[in-house]
Amino acid sequence: MSVPSLILREHVQRAGLPGLGGAALLALVLGYGVFGLLPDWQSLDTLRQNSHKANEFLEKVANGTATLPVVPSQQLDEFHKALPTQLDATTVIDRIYAMASKEKINLARGEYALGIDPKTQLARYQILLPVRGNYPQLRRFLHALLTELPAVVVEDVDFQRKRIADTELSGRIRMTLYLSRS
């Protein structure tokens, strides 16, 4: 046995059972403080920081430097307002044909079907357009279609060449134009 363990044994024998009980209680209190109270103190600190950030945000809203977040129902209303109306359908289709003629793409006579989406109550114009042009022209047309007309959804694209050496593609583009009913 080494000297420090002998000294420790002597102190334990002098303290007796009440001393050991006190040491155990002291260890229990320290364990409770570390494992029980410390996480609560940390969460309290986090709540104080969040409260401070919320107060700063409210001050910014009051000053006009920040805006309140948009509620999903407001987003949906704004989306419906941004869509073209059913009366504007011919104007949008004319724009599609203008974009195609700008890229020198031949659009044959398309098929059109008007329906109502039962889930959203939006009018939808399903359009099937036969197209003819080279690949870069068709790609630019599709890009312009999607960027300039956000109410148009391209659902299917099918291009084919008659022969491998041909540079001109023929095919069809199936799209849906969503329209507000107001």
Where exactly are the structural domains of the chain?
1-69, 76-179
pLDDT of amino acid 27: 86
Distance CA 130, CA 175 (A): 11
The pLDDT score that the predictor gives to residue 2 is 67
Q: Report the share of the chain in percent with pLDDT over 70.
A: 97
pLDDT of residue 175: 93
Quickly name the fold that domain 76-179 has. Answer: Alpha-Beta Plaits (3.30.70)
**Sign (positive or negative) of CA dihedral 129, 135, 141, 147:** positive
pTM, full prediction: 0.57
Compute, in degrees rounded to 10, the torsion defined by CA atoms 43, 49, 51, 57. Answer: -150
Contact between residue 140 and residue 83 where contact means Cβ atoms under 8 Å apart: no
For the chain, residues with pLDDT lower than 50 are none
Q: How far apart are CA 108 and CA 98, in angstroms?
A: 13
The pLDDT, as a whole number, for residue 57 is: 87
Q: In this predicted structure, what is the pLDDT of residue 154?
A: 92
